[in-house]
Structure 1
Amino acid sequence: MKILVLGSGAGGGYPQWNCNCQMCRGLRTGRLRARARTQSSIAVSDDGEHWVLINASPDLGQQLREQPALHPRHGQRHTPIRAVVLMDAQVDHVTGLLSLREGPPIELHCTPCVLDDLRAGLPLLPMLEHYCGVRVHVLPVSGDTHSADFTLEALPGLRFTALAIPGKAPPYSPHRHAPATGDNIALRVVDTRSGAALFYAPGLAEVGPGERRWMQEADCLMVDGTFWREDEMPAAGLGRKHAAEMGHLPQSRHAGRPGMVDALAGLPARRKILIHINNSNPILDEDGPERALLTQQGIEVAFDGMEIEL
């Protein structure tokens, strides 16, 4: 299994275009040793020739131009992207679908909740019908069904499982304040030849017994790295909401509540990687104490262009 990190930042990327916080200003002025990041998305392949996008960020056009593995190879018009799987309907995970409008019909895999949001609250699918069209494959994660196995015809060497996880629906969803099964999923991807498994969850509000069981069985974990602390946004003067209100588990403990660093401790995965990193998060500073603590714990920080092979 091959994994490409197309984008490793949270909404707005890093530095965010209108943000002059300490972290964004530090990168622009060269005061911090840090890397710019586009908004989060990864691509996965079983052979290096055919790829599935997992989420489609607003920065997708730039990301595809910077990844030779995703460039056209055959004929005048071609793409190695054979499908798209969506983890949720958040604007920073879905609007990149519009960047695929010049290509063939999009083979789109998503839950009923996400499908409803993309037909009404953020009607990308009706828009795309005027261009390339979309072939929808519903992942039946809803109601009392909390997981669903599926495969992709173009990537026969991989087996996927969509897993319902706690989180927030987007602001334009009718159940923004009444969470529904399927608003947010994690993905387990297994290479059927080697047995190697990826657990991918860029948005994760908590790590309960179910999530921990799935993480326990993975060789590579790519999980929510949005915030370092629960009150990060208010403390930086960037907003009023805390991490939990936004559907994210911060890395550090808060009021006795374990953070992501605690959740990753003791898990047997060979690779433990944080992704979807907000521009306010001090782990972006490669020389900072927070990054040093992660390194001591064997936790990596994803960056755009990162390549992983399992």
Structure 2
Amino acid sequence: MRIKVLGAAAGGGLPQWNCTCPNCSAIRLNQPHIKSSTQSQLAVTADDSAWFLINASPDLRQQLIDTPTLHPGPAKGFRNTPVAGIILTSADLDHVLGLLLMREFTPVRIYATRPVITILQKNSFFQMLDRLPGQSRWTEIEPGAPFDAGNGLTCTPIALSNNLPTYISEEDRASLNPTGATIGLILEDLHGARAAYLPALPSVSGPLKQLLSTCSTIFIDGTFWTDDELQRIQPGTPLARSMGHLPISGPEGSLATLRDLKNIRKIYTHINNTNPILQEQSSERRTIEDAGWEVAWDGLEINT
């Protein structure tokens, strides 16, 4: 199984267009020891031919252009793609806006839970994915139920949160069953190699921790270093936990909670532009590296 990180940043990317935090400013000044990053996006293949996108970021067009293995093949016709499907972990905007880029008359299979499919199909924007009959092929998936995506890739959705995106109206909230609103994924190939992808992790239960211990590589929510990271920059903004993101630091943060996972490649991804781990020489970066963690970056490739 090959995994490519097409984007490692949280919503807004790095630098964020309206932000003058130390990290965004450092990027604009071309300072060393920090890399720019597009919004969170993963691609995975189990046969080096068919690729599956995990989510569809707003930066997807450029990410596909920057990744030659995801280019169409001239010998395969006028319009084609090695992208065999898209697996959504939520209906959050930074996970679904890239779907609108897939409207260019090429069939696309989209795997998502029932609340995510309901939310997106109700929005007229996403009807543009059906410019041809049957162009979008929606496939419902359920937390805890493995599904065969094809081409040697098996995926198991993991229920993480029933929190619906903030853009959902109160009327729609009342009518929706939110079960499976946010999921993680266990990815497995025919040889039994397993990886986990959890870009939005609100908490770590005992069963989840046990499941992660069966993987050779885990990509974990690294959005914020502290719970009040945004509030320190702009008072009145929400806490990390209230947004469904377990912070990295602290006695109950992901670094401490997952410290006893051994012999596993552990990678933080979906990293907010304000997070100090993005600075390669920061004390926070040294803390996670000393604990055996890595920071994802655009272009990182892993073979499991």
What band does the TM-score fall into relative to the shorter chain? over 0.9
SS in 2 for 1:151: strand
Which residue in 2 is equivalent to 1:130?
131
Asked if residue 166 in structure 1 is aligned to residue 195 in structure 2, the reply is no
Report whether the alignment pairs 1:30 with 2:25. no
- Structure 1: how far apart are the matches of 2:198 and 2:276? 20
Q: Return 226-235 or 24-33, whichever deviates more.
A: 24-33
Q: Residue 103 of structure 2 contacts residue 128 of structure 2 at CA under 8 Å; is this kept in 1? A: no
Cα separation, 1, equivalents of 2:55 and 2:101: 12
* Helix, strand or coil at the partner of 1:295: helix
Q: Say whether 1:98 aligns with 2:100.
A: yes
1:48: which partner in 2?
48
Residue-by-residue CA offset, 1:250-298 (whole Å, 9 max, x unaligned): 1001xx5x10111221113431000000001001101111111111011
Letter in 2 for 1:180: P
Equivalent residue number for residue 190 of structure 2: 192
Q: Structure 1: where are the runs of 5+ without partners?
A: none
Query: 2-side partners of 1:167 and 1:268: how far apart?
Result: 30
Q: What is the aligned partner in structure 2 of residue 259 from structure 1?
A: 253
Determine the structure 2 residue equivalent to 1:289: 283
Q: Which residue of 1 aligns with 2:221?
A: 224
The residue type equivalent to 1:281 in the other structure is N
The secondary structure found in structure 1 opposite 2:173 is: coil
Structure 1 pair 239–10 and aligned structure 2 pair: CA distance change class (3 A): farther
Q: Deviations over 1:179-232 (max 9, x none)?
A: 822100110011122x11001100000011122121111110001000000000
Mean Cα deviation higher: 281-290 or 22-31: 22-31
The structural deviation recorded for 1:166 is 2.4
Q: Structure 1 counterpart of 2:115, which letter?
A: C
Amino acid at match of 1:87: T
Q: Distance in 1 between matches of 2:124 and 2:263?
A: 38
Worse-matched range after superposition: 24-33 or 122-131: 122-131
SS in 2 for 1:175: helix
Indicate if the aligned counterparts of 1:264 and 1:272 stay in contact, CA closer than 8 A. Answer: no
RMSD of aligned alpha carbons: 1.8
- Look up the SS of the partner of 2:146 in the other structure: strand
Partner in structure 2 of residue 233 of structure 1: 230
Contact 1:234 1:241 in 2 (8 A): yes
Size of the alignment, in residue pairs? 297
Establish whether residue 302 from structure 1 lines up as the match of residue 300 from structure 2.
Answer: no
- Structure 2 counterpart of 1:186, one-letter code: G
Which amino acid in the other structure matches residue 201 of structure 2? L
Judge which range, 46-55 or 266-275, deviates more.
266-275
Opposite residue 165 of structure 1, the aligned amino acid is L
Q: Counterparts of 2:145 and 2:125 in 1: how far apart (Å)?
A: 24
Task: Report the residue type matching 2:166 in the other structure.
Answer: P
Measured after TM superposition, the shift of residue 17 of structure 1 is 0.8
Name the residue aligned to 2:9: 9
Percent identity of equivalent pairs: 40
* 4+ long deviations beyond 6 Å: none
On the 8 A contact 1:117/1:123 being kept in 2, the answer is no
Normalised to the residue count of structure 1, the TM-score between the two structures is 0.91
Structure 2 residue matching 1:165: 3-state secondary structure: strand
Query: 1:219, 1:268 within 8 Å by CA — same for their partners in 2?
Result: no
Matching of residue 245 in structure 1 with residue 242 in structure 2: yes
Which amino acid in the other structure matches residue 261 of structure 1?
L
Aligned-partner residue type, residue 190 of structure 1: E
Q: Give distance in 2, aligned partners of 1:198 and 1:40.
A: 17
Q: CA 1:128–1:307 in 2, change beyond 3 Å: closer, same or farther? A: same
